[in-house]
Structure 1
Amino acid sequence: MSDPAVSAFSRRRFLNASGGAVLAPAILTSTGSLLAEKKADSNETLKIGLIGCGGRGTGAAAQALGADYNSKIVAMADAFDTQIESSIKNLSASFPDRVDVKPEMKFTGLDAYQKLIDCGVDVVLLATPPGFRPMHLTAAVEAGKHIFCEKPMAVDAAGYRVAQAAVEKAKQKKLNLVAGFCWRYATSRIECYKRLHDGDIGDITGILATYYSGPVKVMPPAAGRPAGMGDVEWQVRNWYNFSWLSGDSLVEQAVHSLDKICWAMKDAPPVSVIGTGGRQIPAEDGNIFDHFHCAYEWEGGLICQITNRQITGCHNEVADVIHGTKGRLVIGKGPAPYIDGEKRWRWRGEEKNMYDLEHQALFNAIRKGEVINDGDRMMSSTLIAIMGREAAYTGQKIMWKDDAAEGKDKKSDRAPLAILASQQDLAPDNLKFGDKFVPTPMPRPGVTKFV
């Protein structure tokens, strides 16, 4: 029988990767200070490759260079060459001696990721639209690279399984895998959740997380599409507006807030979720919602809610309010997190940049011969976000797993809608930029079916 993870990966390839030997990561012997050398030019220099050269990718590359002073950006891959040149220009302004991307190390196209992975880099930064993340993560792990993987890690159940299989292989290979769920590395948040788990507000009775902002990337009118541009290129250039590429706003952006809910719940998955959502901003193209509200139920009946919106002219807020039997923890309402209740507390420490800290953790682990693997929690948070999105898309109550199939619930004759049993695969197969492709239509709760 074939490996389902391998089959899913094969189905989700866009183009056949070019041949070439897979190169092992460099053997590192130095455990000295990362600040020892301001200029990267030794045998211990870590070679970094960036896959996805937009704003987030360029930011991740800058943070990687800031985390390890004996490292260089030596390769870049993106669907578009203009993104690569813009990224090099921006990074070179801050790191003129440590951005050394020769012409033959600039890879473009939908298969560019594999060419970069095969070119001899030690560390790979994954920052493309998340629809590509499962196959990029799989390829990087197969090649034995240390990885920074931006969130989310998948946009559908098929991608989740592919990426989860890569996580397991990364564990076997003892590769470092740091997730872009940056709040897990924030100084004040680490202290918040330690106090929460130590019982400073008692037992959790409920959580409300908000993620209110303006639109991330406005979909241009269809008339703005250049003549002759294929469907796939048009959609990739406007990736945020298509669920097969972004996963929608709940999965691509508000997943940060869901990850914090999961952190509070010690990364145990929920039992079920009900949700609602829709689109208020008219768009001729695209298939994503601009607002969601999801209520997740955990074991014992605890309800945790997340609500997000991306509409201009509305109240903006990113906050977490965690209620307990002895008080409440409030994050995001004011400059510092605080606890109201029996054990009053307010964060007064130094808040370091969480984006820097996640890269420092990655490069310190590489230098010291240690292993960090954020894989299990990053995949759980990703799938929980997909679960909520599907509840809102379909208007149905979605379960985490099918207890009836496991013999735990014989009472119901109806097959439950379980995210772990989902067969959804939003990614097109073997498409090229010039191809025609019609993505799934705008979801209609009560009409759209759970797959």
Structure 2
Amino acid sequence: MEKEQTFHGQSRRDFVKKSSLLAGGMLAAPYLSQAAQTNYFSGAPGVIKVALIGCGGRGTGAAAQALKTKENVQLVAMADAFRDNLDKSFQNISEEMKATPDRVKVPESNKFVGFDAYKKAIALADVVILTTPPGFRPIHFEEAVKAGKHIFMEKPVATDPAGIAKVLAAAEIAKQKKLNVVVGLQRHYQTSYRELYKRLQDGIIGDITSIQVWWNQGALWVRPRKPEYTEMEYQMRNWYYFNWLCGDHIVEQHIHNIDVGNWFMGKTPVTAVGMGGRAIRTGKEYGEIFDHHFVEYRYDNGVVMNAQCRHWKDSVSRVDEEIVGTKGRIICDRGQILDHKGNTLYKFDRKQENRPYQTEHDELFAAIAKGEYKYQDAQRGVEATLSAIIGRMATYSGQSIEWAKALASGINLQPAKYAFDAPPPVLPDADGNYAYAKPGITRYFS
């Protein structure tokens, strides 16, 4: 099916050291426009120019959040594979920012369309927002780092191990260039989660003994095929249901909860084993992805994280994380910490909650405006993404998947050529159905 560390007993420092061997490039200061250079190095109010790469709903929202920060920010360029996406996004951003229209400065000459549009937009900005389907994230991140730009990129950061390796290499160069990188794992920027984590560090629940995480919800959108679409365009329009673009919903969505488990655990899992399939969502319009996954992640100290996600209509929904320790448990969605008798040890005051999607931009742009180098989220993005990828590999194959072995595999889901008349990596049969993984039959390693 697919052409498809924990640091596998290694410390974070050792892991980063080894991954840096993948990276190269010259040490260089970050490039900013002439106006923003004043801002970056002295704190003076120069304009910080932003380019949006990927003009879907999330990109539109992220661009508006960047423009709503307190800093002197302007959107100056936009890029997308499809002109209709770009036009709709530009209209929605303009409407959202109608009280401050001077922040949206995207002339027609700075609206770029096509597979190579990202390069043209990146060249015009100081900060880039990367919000395309995640299969493109590695090449877009690599280009932004090469150009010396500060970066906000959505999760996940890749859909396959080859993409992970590319992001790791670029992340090392970003550190050398002192580029701020924020990844949209927004719970790290959410006040309630920060307060819960702080108390975990203070020992309120003792040693962690197990973790449970969930992203269970109903069905999502589907975009129908049109007669004029090539197969490449159809898959890109309906991108959620193809692994080279999305990575399956365990990677695209459940990554948030898996990330919280890793964050609170302070490490990443060494192995993943699990089960999944297509129980409800079986039609050809759902491409090749599963509608449910259940993964047992095991850390090097023996602690297990059970992770479940599904898209089933009219079924119990839960999006949450529960961290169990020797002295109590943290229930993240409730912002509550209990002892094992059910007594409340801590309860977060919801009146103090922030809007983390906005906060991640507030903090990023404040750092850039002050000339500070503070954010290096790419490594965390890699850890969360690869954890989710090995979960998918485990449910698809029925095998136990090792973190380090998966990363070293170089498995690559991407097409040989990015073009609308080129074949995507997976093709339908004569009836329009796509092959999908079958546990026990699909294999990655002997």
- What's the TM-score bracket when you normalise by the shorter of the two chains? 0.7 to 0.9
1:95 equivalent among 97, 109, 121: 97
What residue identity is the alignment partner of 2:261?
A: I
Question: Partners in 2 of 1:4 and 1:429 — Cα distance?
Answer: 26
Q: Is the 8 A contact 1:219 1:283 kept in 2?
A: no
Find out whether 1:327 has 2:332 as its counterpart: no
Residue 437 of structure 2 corresponds to which residue in structure 1? 443
Question: Could you tell me how far 1:423 is from its partner in structure 2?
Answer: 2.4
* Aligned partner of 2:172 among 164, 168, 177: 168
The whole-number CA distance in structure 2 between the counterparts of 1:5 and 1:55 is 33
In structure 2, do the counterparts of structure 1 residues 337 and 110 end up closer, same or farther at CA, with 3 Å as the change threshold?
farther
In the alignment, what sits opposite 1:157?
161
- Could you tell me whether the CA contact under 8 Å between 2:40 and 2:369 is conserved in 1? yes
Instruction: Percent identity, please.
Output: 43
Report the residue type matching 2:88 in the other structure: S
Deviation at 1:6, TM superposition (A): 8.6
Paired residue for 1:17?
none
Call closer, same or farther: CA 1:6–1:369 in 2, change over 3 Å. closer
Q: Deviations over 1:88-147 (max 9, x none)?
A: 1111112131112110100011111111112x2111000000000000000000000010
What residue number does 2:244 align with?
244
1:450, distance to aligned residue in structure 2 (A): 0.9
- Report if aligned partners of 1:297, 1:303 keep a CA contact under 8 Å in 2: yes
Give the deviation of 1:43 after TM superposition: 7.0
Aligned pair 1:428/2:415, yes or no?
A: yes
| Matched letter for residue 407 of structure 2 | L
- 1:107 is the counterpart of 2:94: no
Structure 2 residue 370 is the aligned partner of structure 1 residue 364: no
CA distance in structure 2 between the aligned counterparts of 1:380 and 1:142, rounded to whole angstroms: 22
Residues 1:270 and 2:272 aligned together: no
- Report the CA distance between 1:176 and its aligned residue: 0.6
Shift of 1:327: 0.7
CA distance in 1 between counterparts of 2:151 and 2:52 reads 10
2:37 pairs with 1:28: yes
Give the aligned residue type for 1:450.
Y
Contact 2:23–2:172 (8 Å) recurs in 1: no
| 1:376 counterpart = 2:379 | yes
Matched, 1:126 2:130: yes
The answer to whether structure 1 residue 232 and structure 2 residue 226 are counterparts is no
* Residues 1:199 and 2:219 are matched in the alignment: no
Supply the AA of the counterpart residue of 1:379: V
CA contact (8 A) 1:67 1:360 kept: yes
Return closer, same or farther for 1:116/1:4 CA change in 2, 3 Å cut-off. farther
Is the 1:188–1:337 Cα contact (8 Å) retained in structure 2?
no
How far did residue 206 of structure 1 move? 0.4
Q: How big is the shift at 1:320? A: 1.0
Once residues 210 and 42 of structure 2 are traced to their aligned partners in structure 1, the CA distance between those partners, rounded to angstroms, is 44
Unaligned ranges ≥5, structure 2: 1-19, 25-29, 428-434
Does the CA contact (< 8 Å) of 1:50 and 1:124 recur in 2?
yes
* Residues 7-406 of structure 1: pairs in structure 2 closer than 5 A: 24-26=31-33, 27-30=36-39, 44-96=46-98, 97=101, 98-118=103-123, 120-218=124-222, 220=224, 225-266=225-266, 268-280=267-279, 281-285=281-285, 286-332=287-333, 334=334, 336-341=335-340, 344-348=345-349, 350-371=352-373, 372-401=375-404
Name the Cα RMSD after superposition: 2.3
Which whole-Å CA distance do the structure 1 matches of 2:109 and 2:22 have between them?
32
**Aligned in 2, Cα 1:232/1:31: closer, same or farther, shift over 3 Å?**
closer
- Equivalent-residue separation in structure 1 for 2:208 and 2:87 (angstroms): 49
Please give the TM-score of this superposition, normalised by the length of structure 1.
0.85
- Deviation, 1:32, is 12
| Equivalent position of 1:16 in the other structure | none
**In structure 2, the residue corresponding to 1:245 is in which secondary structure?**
coil
Please state how far the C-alpha of 1:367 moved relative to its aligned partner.
1.0
For residue 194 of structure 1, what is the amino acid of its counterpart?
K
TM-score by length of structure 2 reads 0.86
Q: Structure 1 residues 313 and 323, CA, compared in 2 at 3 Å: closer, same or farther?
A: same
CA distance in 1, matches of 2:163, 2:329: 36
> What's the CA shift for 1:344?
0.8
Q: 1:216 & 1:278 partners in 2: Cα distance?
A: 17
Contact 1:28 1:367 in 2 (8 A): no
> Secondary structure at the residue paired with 1:421?
helix
The separation in 2 between residues aligned to 1:228 and 1:303, in whole angstroms, is 48
Aligned counterpart, 2:17: none
Q: Secondary structure at the match of 2:245?
A: helix
Question: How big is each residue's C-alpha offset from its partner over 1:335-358, in whole Å with a ceiling of 9 and x where there is no partner?
Answer: x43333577110015101001110
Amino acid at match of 1:390: M
Q: How far apart, CA to CA, are the structure 1 residues paired with 2:173 and 2:79?
A: 24
Decide whether the 8 Å contact of 1:201 with 1:343 is kept in 2.
no
Q: Distance in 2 between matches of 1:274 and 1:93?
A: 47
Matched residue type, 1:174: K
How many Å separate the matches in 2 of 1:127 and 1:305? 29
CA distance in 1, matches of 2:71, 2:89: 19
Q: Distance in 1 between matches of 2:94 and 2:42?
A: 24
**Please, which runs of 5 or more residues in structure 1 have no aligned partner?**
8-22, 35-41, 402-417
Paired residue secondary structure (1:326): coil
